[in-house]
Amino acid sequence: DVKVTQSSRYLVKRTGEKVFLECVQDMDHENMFWYRQDPGLGLRLIYFSYDVKMKEKGDIPEGYSVSREKKERFSLILESASTNQTSMYLCASSLPRAGETYNEQFFGPGTRLTVL
Amino acid sequence: AQSVSQHNHHVILSEAASLELGCNYSYGGTVNLFWYVQYPGQHLQLLLKYFSGDPLVKGIKGFEAEFIKSKFSFNLRKPSVQWSDTAEYFCAGYTGTYKYIFGTGTRLKVLA
């Protein structure tokens, strides 16, 4: 079974702090993603990466950055946390189908971040 | 604009009732669609997917979905729900360039 793990289930930070959310997958997947999940808004893509050291902005990248130094690890960084970044953060990975760039995604359990 | 719409935000059913959750997509090109489920306290997991071929797709736990191109729809169905199907359901589509777009989710509550 593919396993995607996230460093924390719950996190409480203060406004202005730098926050690191870590995600690790154990199935050698090429693609990794960070989403935030908010009630009534579904999942919104923050950043994705299709290879080591490669990263692309998603739909809501403002206030976030990412790092992918190793294939299995994809980190989300909140440079200066703000209250409007209080949310559930989901990491996902996928192995593209042969000759394609897509396939099903495997999700981690999520990190519920509260910024006070 | 590209979008995936789920019109039912909350659904309450009794056990053994039939389920149909709506999903409509709005984008062109090759259509690749997914249904994911999130049980309380658990991570999102894949129910089923459509890439091509037979428009009627069977998934896990007795779920199925039908891709109807003319209606831009990919509705999720189950003939008889169980209390354990209580969860949030998300429809998603692959829109290209490594991006997926998700619907806003449907919360299903099944009464025992």
List residues in chain A touching B: CB distance below 8 A: 4, 31, 33, 35, 40-45, 48, 50, 56, 58-59, 90, 92, 97, 101-102, 104-110
Question: Residue A114 corresponds to which tokens in the numbers above?
Answer: 């509260």
Which of A19-23, B49-53, B97-101 shows the lowest per-residue confidence on average (mean pLDDT)?
B97-101
Q: How many CB atoms lie within 10 A of CB A29?
A: 20
B50-59: which pairs have CB atoms within 8 A and are 24 or more residues apart?
B50/B74, B51/A97, B59/B35
Q: What is the pLDDT of residues A65-97, one digit of tens each?
A: 999 999 999 999 999 999 999 999 999 999 877
Euclidean distance between CA atoms B85 and A60, whole angstroms = 31
Question: Residue B7 corresponds to which tokens in the numbers above?
Answer: 């019109």
Mean pLDDT of B34-46: 94
| Residue type, position A91, single letter | C
Taken in order of first residue, the domains within chain A and their CATH numbers are 4-103 (2.60.40.10)
Distance from CA of A59 to the nearest CA of B (A): 9
State the fold for domain B3-111. Immunoglobulin-like (2.60.40)
DSSP string covering A8-60 = -SEEEE-TT--EEEEEEESS--SEEEEEEEETTTEEEEEEEEEETTEEEE-S-
The pLDDT assigned to B98 comes to 79
Percent residues over pLDDT 90 in chain B: 78
Q: What is the mean pLDDT of chain B?
A: 93
